[in-house]
Amino acid sequence: MLEGRTVVVTGALGVLGSVVADAVEAAGAKVARLDYAKAGAPRELLFDGLDLTDEAATSAAMAAITERTGGIDGLVNIAGGFTWRTLADAPGAVWEQMFRINLLTAVTATRAALGALSAGGSGSIVNIGAGAAAKAAAGMGAYAASKAGVAKLTESLAEELGGAGVRVNAILPSIIDTPTNRRDMPTADFSTWVQPQDIAKVIIFLLSDRSAAITGAAIPVTVGRRGG
């Protein structure tokens, strides 16, 4: 489905990012993996230890990817994080951290890849938003506000880049079934949580020509696998 394309995945060493990167590669694309974390072993098109809020470093990584592969056809902005803090327990630094890792990383990565994405005339950007951005529960203010920023970035970019043939969409997952979430919520019903593999399928669809008529969308991905 993605044969002959180059796709950049940020946050590619995390639980969701690694599943998405592997799935996109299995769909036929060359995958460039970007992450702040350090990988255990080197691999092709891996840019680890990369601060995605650093414009110069991120631009250098995108330039290297373009030089090695001939271009960039897709960008998946997965890099991010979560915190549960009530306002009374969350000083401004907590809010700033959420905005930096959830919104600024997407802004910086997208700016750095814009030229390459636009050059082909058919690029695709997929951002990871959150259902919580629409209705934030107690303790979710900082996280939800940063993800609401991702939603508005998606809408704005879809308008800005439409003339260049670059589509921009977001997915809005509910709770993702990860080891960290299971550890933090041990009494929850895990069967209702979204599987990373199912999120990857939606992302591949949005990167492919099958979604050529879709831009500016925010797509909920919320169904778990009961009995799975």
CA proximity to 60, closest of 122, 111, 4: 111
Residue 132: what pLDDT? Answer: 86
Residue 1 forms part of a structural domain: no
β-strand pairing of 74-77 with 46-47: unpaired
Write down the pLDDT at residue 133.
86
CATH number of the structural domain spanning residue 161: 3.40.50.720
Examine residue 227 and state whether it is found in any structural domain, yes or no: no
Do the domain assignments include residue 132? Answer: yes
pLDDT at 135: 86
Per DSSP, the residues of 20-35 read HHHHHHHTT-EEEEE-
Considering the domain boundaries, does residue 179 fall inside one? yes
Residue-range definition of the domain harbouring residue 215: 6-221
Instruction: Let me know: does 189 contact 223? Beta carbons within 8 Å.
Output: no
Catalytic status, residue 143: yes
Quote the pLDDT of residue 226. Answer: 65
Q: Of residues 95, 99, 143, 193, which has the active-site annotation?
A: 143
Question: Count of domains in the chain?
Answer: 1
The pTM of this model reads 0.95
**228 inside domain:** no
Per-residue pLDDT for the chain (228 aa), expressed as one digit of tens each?
Answer: 999 999 999 999 999 999 999 999 999 999 999 999 999 888 999 999 999 999 999 999 999 999 999 999 999 999 999 999 999 999 999 999 999 999 999 999 999 999 999 998 999 999 999 988 888 899 999 999 999 999 999 999 999 999 999 999 999 999 999 999 999 899 999 999 999 999 999 999 999 999 999 999 999 999 998 654
